[in-house]
Amino acid sequence: MINVDITVNDEGKVTDVIMDGHANQGEYGHDIVCAGVSAVLFGSVSAIMGLTTEKPDIDYEDDGGYFHIRSVDINNKEAQLILQAMLVSLQTIEEEYNENIRLNYK
């Protein structure tokens, strides 16, 4: 299962996102949940870096299964909007594939 731990401050702004685990929905290379989650996550981080002044601190494992985004300025409205859009997309995937992905808000 993919666990996505999302830390949100009292104002509802995203401060930290950790994705850990594997969906195990299909065989390696054919797992649509993994592909969808990865596309949403990498696309969102690329959008933050390409469309805003933010350069988030990112940590990941080369073989997949772990990705950590942190140090996004909570006052950067554009970056926060992209993060919120990312969460909406991940929630949509979770609704359909709740045995393969779980979002945990902290």
| Cβ density class 46-69: b for 16+ within 10 Å, e for less | ebbeeebebebeeeeeeeeeebbb
The model's pTM = 0.90
CA distance 69 to 71: 7
* Domains of the chain, residue spans: 1-103
22 labelled catalytic: yes
The one catalytic residue among 18, 22, 66, 68: 22
What CATH fold (topology level) applies to the domain 1-103?
A: Alpha-Beta Plaits (3.30.70)
Per residue in 40-90, pLDDT tens? Answer: 999 999 999 999 999 999 999 887 789 999 988 999 999 999 999 999 999
CA distance 28 to 34: 9
The one catalytic residue among 2, 4, 33, 34: 34
68 labelled catalytic: no
